[in-house]
């Protein structure tokens, strides 16, 4: 029971005597003292009752301690952001590994209005400015985030993305959670399918014009004075021996009057460190063209090469520029993207001051980014779309995985915006190795290839000032690139109009290509034009010229 303090009792006694005090001092009356005494008695009684009630209430021993409210969200996990991360990248991160990745931003530039512009120069400038503006608007915050995470990266604008090195799980979670990040894709090492040598080495030709040039009737265009003058072609490949006798005078950077070369705006090396392991024979970040394989020199020779009677190139009057996208045949999605960006608006040797007015007219691509090597099907799509929107013709080899159906599997060959090229031989038979459609890698069931061209026993330039014969769709794509150069010189109104150029090439192609065993693919037979075997037919550039308005 609660006890009453001595102080309270004393105070009560004082009020009990209050009437006597009042009489002596003549201040309070007895009545006032009595009222005060009654009030005090009631207060003490209430205090005693309240104290006793507290003792009777049992404590709630099971009640949880009261905690202050918190606004801190539960920590994110990889699983929470898995929808934004490529499954191969996600698997690496879940194993605790660091990996390379492409951080693709959600906002990509809309360049669709470029198709309404008349000239290639107008299209190129519009696309370049739109892409750069989008990057300038959306990338600064991401740069700060990447810097804070301590990640090394390279930013691009031909696709609005960042190529990141050594991405770990903690950083991936933070990046994927950002609203401006659309997706995180892989950036794997990709080895392309080397063409097969059909002859180890070959001397300078004594027969003049190579068979492939005659087959597509490019020599007929020469007779009319069209050799590709004032047209610029390009390849992204293993590099080029720029001073090869068949190529030196055709290099845009070479000045025949001074005998000197200027490589700014004409060459870029997207290989900034070795990919395949070991030292690269050309080095990395090289400032002048060099071929660490022989593939790039060979494909460039088929586009423009020639010296005297040694006529190996379809458009010997055109000029060429180049970008190395592979380290001894091994590239990455970001090296392919970087070369596309260079071609959109070439820059100087320091990688500065890009200029869309110096962009090539045609880009030949004899490489692939296989999904079998974890290359995401759409990783290079946006770059290919934007380069085409700029009025640049993109010729792409179909691949060498035939004769089975649905063997066109690699970007950029699988894309609708790429002109995909199969391979034929001197007898106008489809090469057994030439990849066929339909495309299933991206679930599109798209018909491919689009058209075919000579790709068997093709003789062209190789490093060491030599020549060699190769088999592959890698040899077919440069035939088409060179043919477009001839057509655009002959028909200037077509320059930069990729849609019209494709239509003309397709509708004028030779349709009598034979296919072993009359194979059908995707429900199309060799007699169905177009088909999933050789597309619309074998290229005939002279017929295309005659058919042009």
CA nearest to 106, candidates 137, 148, 80, 79: 137
Q: What is the pLDDT of residue 192?
A: 80
- Which CATH number is correct for 79-187, 3.30.70, 3.30.930, 3.90.25, 1.10.1740? 3.30.70
Q: What is the pLDDT of residue 196?
A: 76
Confirm whether 79-187 and 191-547 share one CATH topology. Answer: no
Q: What is the pLDDT of residue 44?
A: 52
Distances in whole angstroms, Cα of residue 404 to Cα of each of 421, 521, 531: 16, 8, 14
Could you tell me the maximum CA-CA distance found in the chain, to the nearest angstrom? 149
Mean pLDDT of 93-103: 96
Annotated domain spans of the chain: 79-187, 191-547
Catalytic residues: 237, 295, 474
DSSP string, 76-99: P-TGGGGGGB-HHHHHHHHTT--E
pLDDT tens digit sequence for 276-326: 788 999 999 999 999 999 999 999 999 999 998 889 999 999 999 999 999
Nearest-angstrom CA–CA distance, 149 and 209:
58
The answer on pLDDT for 76 being more than 60 is: yes
pTM of this structure: 0.86
Compute, in degrees rounded to 10, the torsion defined by CA atoms 278, 91, 440, 106.
-90
Among left, alpha and beta (phi > 0; psi -120 to 50; other), residue 130 is alpha
pLDDT tens digit sequence for 174-218: 999 999 999 999 999 998 877 778 754 555 555 689 999 999 999
Continuous segment of H or E residues that includes residue 473: helix 473-490
Compute, in degrees rounded to 10, the torsion defined by CA atoms 77, 82, 84, 89.
100
Within 10 angstroms of residue 282's Cβ, the number of other Cβ atoms is 20
CA nearest to 131, candidates 325, 337, 323, 269: 337
DSSP string, 391-450: T-EEEEE--S-TTSTT---STTTT-TTSEEEEEE-TTSBB-TTS----B-TTS--B----
Continuous segment of H or E residues that includes residue 232: strand 232-237
Tell the burial category of 369 from Cβ atoms under 10 Å away from its Cβ (0-12, 13-18, 19+).
buried
Long-range contacts of 219-222 (CB under 8 A, 24+ apart): 220/542, 221/486, 221/490, 221/541, 221/542, 221/545, 222/316
Question: What is the band of 1 on the pLDDT scale with cuts at 50, 70, 90?
Answer: very low
Which parts of 52-152 are beta strand (E)?
Answer: 99-105
Class for the domain spanning 191-547? alpha beta
Q: What is the pLDDT of residue 26?
A: 38
The answer on pLDDT for 32 being more than 90 is: no
Nearest-angstrom CA–CA distance, 376 and 378:
6
Is the preceding peptide bond at 438 cis, omega within 30 degrees of 0? yes
407 and 399 Cβ atoms separated by less than 8 Å: yes
Minimum mean pLDDT among 60-69, 127-136, 333-342, 439-448: which range?
A: 60-69
Instruction: Check residue 254 and report its DSSP letter.
Output: E
Within 10 angstroms of residue 481's Cβ, the number of other Cβ atoms is 34
Instruction: Check residue 278 and report its DSSP letter.
Output: S
Nearest-angstrom CA–CA distance, 542 and 545:
5
233-272 burial: b if 16+ Cβ within 10 Å, else e: bbbbbbbbbbebbbbbebbbbbeeeeeebbbbbbbbbbbe
Q: What is the pLDDT of residue 134?
A: 98
Minimum mean pLDDT among 121-125, 188-192, 414-418, 505-509: which range?
A: 188-192
CA nearest to 494, candidates 484, 483, 507: 484
Within 10 angstroms of residue 506's Cβ, the number of other Cβ atoms is 18
Question: What is the band of 9 on the pLDDT scale with cuts at 50, 70, 90?
Answer: very low
């Amino acid at each position: 029971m609660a006890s009453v303090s001595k102080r309270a009792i004393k105070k009560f006694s004082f009020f009990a005597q209050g009437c006597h005090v009042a009489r002596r001092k003549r201040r309070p009356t007895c009545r006032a003292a009595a009222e005060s005494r009654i009030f005090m008695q009631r207060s003490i009684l209430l205090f005693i009752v309240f104290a006793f009630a507290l003792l009777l209430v049992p404590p709630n021993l099971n009640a949880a301690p009261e905690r202050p409210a918190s606004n801190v969200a539960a920590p994110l996990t990889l699983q929470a952001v898995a929808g934004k991360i490529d499954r191969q990248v996600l698997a690496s991160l879940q194993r605790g590994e660091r990996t390379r990745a492409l951080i693709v931003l959600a906002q990509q530039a809309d360049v669709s209005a470029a198709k309404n512009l008349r000239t290639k120069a107008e299209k190129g400038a519009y696309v370049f400015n739109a892409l750069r503006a989008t990057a300038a608007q959306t990338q600064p915050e991401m740069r700060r985030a990447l810097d804070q995470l301590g990640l090394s990266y390279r930013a691009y604008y031909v696709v609005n993305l960042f190529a990141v090195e050594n991405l770990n799980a903690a950083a991936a979670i933070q990046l994927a959670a950002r609203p401006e990040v659309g997706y995180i894709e892989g950036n794997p090492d990709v080895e392309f399918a080397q063409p097969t040598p059909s002859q180890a080495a070959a001397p300078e030709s004594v027969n003049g014009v190579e068979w492939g040039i005659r087959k597509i009737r490019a020599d007929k265009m020469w007779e009319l004075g069209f050799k590709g003058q004032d047209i610029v072609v390009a390849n992204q490949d293993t590099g080029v021996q720029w001073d090869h006798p068949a190529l030196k005078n055709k290099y845009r950077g070479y000045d025949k009057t001074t005998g000197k070369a200027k490589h700014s705006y004409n060459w870029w090396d997207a290989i900034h460190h070795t990919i395949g392991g070991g030292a690269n024979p050309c080095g990395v970040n090289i400032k002048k063209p060099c071929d660490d394989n022989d593939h790039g020199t060979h494909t460039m020779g088929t586009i423009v090469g020639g010296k005297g009677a040694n006529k190996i190139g379809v458009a010997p009057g055109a000029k060429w520029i180049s970008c190395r996208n592979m380290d001894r045949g091994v590239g990455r999605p970001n090296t392919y993207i970087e070369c596309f960006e260079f071609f959109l608006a070439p820059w100087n040797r320091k990688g500065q001051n890009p200029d869309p007015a110096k962009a090539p007219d045609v880009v030949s691509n004899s490489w692939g980014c296989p999904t079998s090597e974890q290359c995401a099907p759409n990783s290079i799509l946006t770059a290919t779309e934007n380069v085409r929107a700029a009025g640049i013709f993109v010729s792409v080899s179909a691949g060498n995985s035939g004769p089975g159906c649905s063997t066109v599997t690699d970007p950029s060959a699988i894309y609708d915006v790429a002109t995909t090229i199969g391979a034929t031989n001197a007898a106008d038979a489809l090469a057994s190795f030439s990849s066929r459609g339909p495309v299933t890698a991206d679930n599109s069931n798209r018909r491919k290839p689009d058209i075919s061209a000579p790709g068997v026993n093709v003789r062209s330039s190789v490093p060491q000032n030599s020549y060699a014969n190769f088999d592959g769709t890698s040899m077919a794509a440069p035939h088409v690139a060179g043919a477009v150069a001839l057509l655009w010189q002959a028909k200037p109104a077509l320059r930069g109009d990729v849609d019209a150029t494709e239509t003309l090439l397709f509708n004028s192609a030779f349709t009598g290509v034979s296919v072993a065993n009359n194979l059908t693919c995707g429900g199309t037979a060799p007699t169905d034009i177009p088909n999933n075997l050789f597309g619309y037919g074998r290229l005939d550039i002279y017929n295309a010229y005659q058919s042009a308005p």
